[in-house]
Chains A and B, each alone.
Chain A
Amino acid sequence: MSALQAKQISRSYGGTRALSEVSIELLPGSIHALCGENGAGKSTLIKILSGVETPDSGEVTLNGQPIPLGRVHAVEQIGIVAVHQEPVVFPHLNTVDNLFVGREQSKVGGLWLNKKGMREQACQIMHSLGEAFSLDIPVGQLSLAQRQMVSMGRALLHECRILILDEPTASLSARESRSLFATMDRLQQQGVGILYVSHRLEEVFQLAQQVTILRDGQCAGTQPTSSLSRSELIRMMVGRPVDNPSRQQKKTKSKSDKPILKIRGMRRDPVFQDIHLEVYAGEILGLSGLVGAGRSEIARAIFGLDPVDEGEIWFEGRCLPEGFTIQDTMAMGMAMVPEDRQREGLVLPASVEDNLTLPSLIELSGWMGMHRKPRHEASRSLIEQMGIKTASRASSAQSLSGGNQQKIVLGKWVYRQPRLFILDEPTRGVDVGAKEEVHRMIEQLAAGGSAILLISSDMPEILRLSDRILTLCQGRIKGEIASHEATQEILLQWALPEERDALS
């Protein structure tokens, strides 16, 4: 018998139909994946199942009992818990307090908080999630992945019968993903039904028994994963065939080429030490490693956003001066797509045009002020070139989907035609279709002679795009490999710190 059953769920926002007559059935003790492109209605369905929103029609039952729709707290009480994509935490409180917010345990008849008891319970839960960080530091100082684990822990505090995970691995490194999967496995054996939303199809095939595919708010089918192939699944998601990511022939660089970027002995305590690397024209150099291995910090240091303690950085044969700034590196021809699109990459309320031209306004203006026409022209051609789907160039950036926002962040640098692109997680939280487009653009940029330093936690992505891959571990380069020789296992082996290897 089924644990959670949703029948004929429909929901509209204004004039647009987010979901129409979607049904889904979740068995106890199974993992059920939910796939679909961004905007297919996954989040709406999750919101309805977890009681955040009420459907226009349809019903949801748990073991035959209708669930109190639209009441989060009541839904949690009966054992349906959701962990959302962006970890919802209170940054100034520590882990214990975060776990128990709104559910504090007390003693002496409610007069006193049972701090010790809560702490023990918190310890137990975080330990079972395989996390060993201190429970006393404010959650805001933890990494994104650790914060994600805290919100997972919060979900596990409930007696949960149904667990809904919305892209839990989007910000996790491979190791953290593994401990998450182990936890899911354990819960599954305890009879918990898990609804798992992910863009990473490898995980879907690895974990789930069943998969339901949503497309444009409709159910495109529910199938056992064993009977599906990867390309069939993608086809069901996008409704059109997608060219299989076959690895194309990479040209090998002759060592006589001059590198665009050469780094010798770069150090910044305590995040990274002893960094040596070269990136050649037309080459994509992958930088892999766990979250917190120092990859983003290296990117920021090269781009002049963070200071460097020691080391030489050569760009096109010129050594960068001491204490160089982002203005120097930009003028020489570097560009960086930062990790956090919404916080570092975009001015969300500003228009698409303003965002696209922000780094190039000096070039687009003279002593009389900005040149209006060339600016419009620049943004128009960038929108076309990058394939940004927007109503107009005056629409605000926040009205666009994640994939299109990411294209803006890339496009605003493309206009300057830099010689080196530093791309930090360029496809994080982007749907399958847009991901393909971004990949194609990166390949085009490299083919056009730019050097690319690619940072990604998405292993298939880094394997597919890179020519060479460097793996970082705890701020040091652990190994280098040509991508046609690399496998996920090798990269992971290098990425894991040695002490941990000894432990496991």
Chain B
Amino acid sequence: MKTKWFSWLSHPESLLSCLTLVMLGWICNVDPTFLQWEVQKELSTHIWETALMALPMTLIILTGGIDLSIGSTMSLCAITAGMLHQHGVPLPMGCLAAALVGLAGGWFNGWFITRLKVHPLIITLATMAAFRGIAEGVSQARPLSGFPKSFTWLGQASWLGIPLAGWLFLGCLALCAWIMHGHRLGRYIHAIGYNEVATRYSGIRVNRILLGLYCLSGLSASIAAILFMARRNTAKADIGVGVELGVITAVVMGGVSIFGGRGSLFGVCLGLVLIHETREFVSWHWSRDELNLLALGSLLILSVVFQQLLGHKRSS
């Protein structure tokens, strides 16, 4: 019985659930107003873009890769849509162009990774700088705004108390969950992360899958960019700075092994909840944004240490 409990506890997901509950309990003690529905609803608008990008990031990290360029891709996409709008192109067309730019950015990363065998960390670090540079150069660092009402409505509309962005995320989450559990692609992704060579030797088109995943990541960044513009009614070259930090933190905290193979979407959702609540509570309670990063970093260290300890217990 004892060992059963222990093996349950050594799953990152259950550990994370406990951690989330403990934290929420503590918050309840310190500042109960924070947990009111109205407050939570208001604050939840901040998380959806991160959450949306965390889905492809989960799949990519499961294959043993990483994509650092999503924040810069976001800004490039926003600038594309914004500039086109300023030059009189209808905004839906601009958004389509932004999506294409996102896809192209992802494809660029994926091409280098699969064809030239560049390590994902290197190539996405390079494009992280390059994409941001292009965005700043094109926009001259000027903010672009003045989007039509119908567009900003997208950022405010909600249904059943959940904003449109939230529904979009839930839809994509369902899709990803199906891919990971119901579709063979999920098996392939895990297999690539565990042993890419053996997967290739089993006749699976590894390169095609990887290329697709990086394209997906670029696409998700472009959608996040559009959501951001609708919410803030502005596009600027410095949006999405550091967003990859939050995304990767959520994924890794959710128990996805950075070496690939191991992890689950459920864990990542818990990770997202945890970092969202931590971040928001820190700014809400102490109203100090600089504490934000500190809290995030400490949380990541804490959860990784716990996982390491339990992981070692499990393997010995």
Contact = CB atoms under 8 A, between A and B. Distances in A.
B206 to A, nearest CB: 10
B182 A370 contact: yes
Given A354-B187, A361-B187, A369-B178, A348 B202 contact: no
Given A354-B191, A369-B184, A370-B182, A330 B203 contact: yes
Q: Interface residues of A: mostly helix, strand, loop or mixed?
A: mixed
Contacts of A346: 195, 198
Contacts, number: 64
B112 interface: no
Nearest to A303: B201
B228 interface: no
B263 to A, nearest CB: 12
Nearest to A334: B203
Contact of A349 (B183, B199, B204, B262): B262
B201 A336 contact: yes
Among B182, B183, B199, B202, the one with the most A-chain Cβ atoms within 10 Å of its Cβ is B202
Nearest to B182: A369
Nearest to A328: B203
B190 interface: yes
Interface residues of B, number: 21
Contacts of B199: 347, 358
Interface stretch (A43-51, A58-66, A337-345): A337-345
Contact of B194 (A336, A349, A368, A412): A349
A348 B199 CA distance: 11
B201 to A, nearest CB: 5
A343 B191 contact: no
Interface residues of A, number: 26
B203 A359 contact: yes
Contacts of B178: 369
Interface string A340-383: 00011111111000100111011011001110000000000000
A362 B205 CA distance: 12
A277 interface: no
A173 B11 CA distance: 46
A321 B222 CA distance: 40
B204 A365 contact: no
A370 B194 contact: no
Contacts of B198: 343-347
Residue among A338, A348, A361, A368 with most chain B CB within 10 A:
A361
A335 to B, nearest CB: 9
A481 interface: no
Interface of A: 305, 326-327, 330, 336, 338, 343-350, 354, 357-359, 361-362, 364-365, 368-370, 412
